[in-house]
Structure 1
Amino acid sequence: MIEGARVRLKGWQRAAVAVGSAVGALLDPRRADLIAALGETTGKPAFESVLKRMKRSPEGRAVLLERPRVISANVGHAWDLPPNTFGAAYAKFMGSRNFSPDDRPPVRFMETEEVAYVATRAREVHDFWHTLFGLPTNLIGESALKVIEFEQMLLPMCALSVVGGTARFSEKQRKLFYQHYFPWALRAGMRCTDLMCVYYERHFEDDLEDVRRRWGIIPAPPPQQTAT
């Protein structure tokens, strides 16, 4: 994290960036930079709360102490792990979509180094959560994960993203989301462990199903299992 890369905003400036980012993100949900800015300008209290929880957790404290970054140089070995492992599942998720862990926009609007790192960590573990919950990266999958992220971190941006995302659904997508993914995401987000306190990189070599059980992860079931 580079101090010079961050921008200190006055109250009215923070509000202006938040409103502008919210409007822009609603018009174009693909604008990751606007969604990131919205999360930062509205999420300070939530990130500070997550920081306190991480400090109370042994594994969370290790993350804060070592400040691992989810970048290619640090996670590239996941591509060489056995196929049953969490790391290999993450590599498959990223590779099948031609995603790079280096593509996340930097955190710019957090005032302290600690909170800036928490915001960075929340942004960078997003694809770990996709992998663990077995969620696609389409609009429905992203909206479902935002429900879980809201339950885990109480970020206003997550709730706004769900509202904005579902507003763009077709009638068929909206029915599928609210009958299947939304109730599942509510259960999944409440049941699992505090996911911001997990040092994921230390578990790359663990069996995927083992870590799911350990962390209370309920993978997204096929839509036909909704009624069960």
Structure 2
Amino acid sequence: MIEKVVRIQLNGWQRAAVAVGSAVGALLDPRRADLIAALGETTGRPAFERVLERMKRSPEGRAILAVRPRVISSEVGHAWDLPPNTFGAAYAKFMGSRNFSPDDRPPVRFMDTEELAYVAMRAREVHDFWHTLFELPTNLIGESALKVIEFEQMMLPMCLMSVAGGTARFSERQRRLFYQHYFPWALKAGMQCTDLMCVYYERHFDEDLEDVRRKWGIIPAPPPPR
């Protein structure tokens, strides 16, 4: 179950103020995950509501909502013990090679209901599964490309803002590489794959990585041109 955190009820003006403040702060310091999270929550309620309705119409989505699994160390630690060809092992390698912890995601504070709070948290926590499946690095280009896929999957305004903010910090070479190489791929990849918010990833940890990619229509990122 989602942990009990203090959820803050905002009126329209307060929501707008938090959104603007979070957007400005995130642009000034992109490492502030708490500000990026607040921006996503205060601008993304309609998108999360649509995701919730899709999950309710999907068998796997309904299973996720019924159990409300969390992507935290105590729940996904067994991935580190799986055979190397599996999706779970690939996720563990992705996390371990970067010294990432599943427990580092900020809590959801600005959603009005427990259901929407869980959907927002789920979207935040499956981010690293998507990095693993699409073979995207965690540098500025990789994160921006994943935000394109996330926008196509969830239509979160924050994703577009993140792409705009990320590309503004690109060098000319990075910008050319992104728009000529990664952006067209991300558009295709996000449209072709299954509804990724309706996948119960934890139940597929022990399956072959390439098998789950084929099953979910995942196109891994192309290697950068030489």
> What TM-score do you get using the length of structure 1 for normalisation?
0.97
Tell me the CA shift for residue 224 of structure 1.
2.6
State whether residues 135 and 220 of structure 2, in contact with CA within 8 Å, keep that contact through their aligned partners in structure 1: yes
SS at match of 2:112: coil
SS at match of 1:82: coil
Tell me the CA shift for residue 11 of structure 1.
1.0
Counterpart for residue 170 of structure 1: 171
Counterpart for residue 48 of structure 1: 49
State whether residues 5 and 107 of structure 2, in contact with CA within 8 Å, keep that contact through their aligned partners in structure 1: no
- Equivalent residue runs for 1:21-170 within 5 Å: 21-170=22-171
**Shift in alpha-carbon separation, 1:64–1:173, aligned structure 2, 3 A:** same
Counterpart for residue 11 of structure 2: 10
Give the letter aligned to residue 124 of structure 1.
E
Tell me the CA shift for residue 28 of structure 1.
1.3
CA distances 1:124-161 after superposition (whole Å, capped 9, x unpaired): 00000000000000000000000000000000000000
- In 1, Cα distance between the equivalents of 2:31 and 2:170? 14
Counterpart for residue 196 of structure 1: 197
> Which region of structure 1 is more displaced relative to structure 2, 170-179 or 3-12?
3-12
- In 1, Cα distance between the equivalents of 2:3 and 2:100? 24
SS at match of 2:85: coil
Tell me the CA shift for residue 4 of structure 1.
4.7
Tell me the CA shift for residue 43 of structure 1.
0.1
SS at match of 2:178: helix
- In 1, Cα distance between the equivalents of 2:160 and 2:64? 26
> Which region of structure 1 is more displaced relative to structure 2, 7-16 or 88-97?
7-16
Tell me the CA shift for residue 3 of structure 1.
4.9
Counterpart for residue 210 of structure 1: 211
SS at match of 1:5: coil
Identity among equivalent positions (%) equals 85
Is 1:182–2:206 an aligned residue pair? no
SS at match of 2:211: helix
> What TM-score do you get using the length of structure 2 for normalisation?
0.98
Give the letter aligned to residue 72 of structure 1.
S
- In 1, Cα distance between the equivalents of 2:180 and 2:194? 25
Q: Structure 2: give runs of 5+ residues left out of the alignment.
A: none
Give the letter aligned to residue 175 of structure 1.
R
- In 2, Cα distance between the equivalents of 1:26 and 1:18? 12
Count of paired positions: 225
- In 2, Cα distance between the equivalents of 1:93 and 1:172? 26
**Shift in alpha-carbon separation, 1:216–1:182, aligned structure 2, 3 A:** same
Give the letter aligned to residue 188 of structure 2.
R
- In 2, Cα distance between the equivalents of 1:31 and 1:204? 30
State whether residues 5 and 109 of structure 2, in contact with CA within 8 Å, keep that contact through their aligned partners in structure 1: no
- In 1, Cα distance between the equivalents of 2:9 and 2:174? 40
- In 1, Cα distance between the equivalents of 2:202 and 2:55? 16
- In 1, Cα distance between the equivalents of 2:218 and 2:163? 21
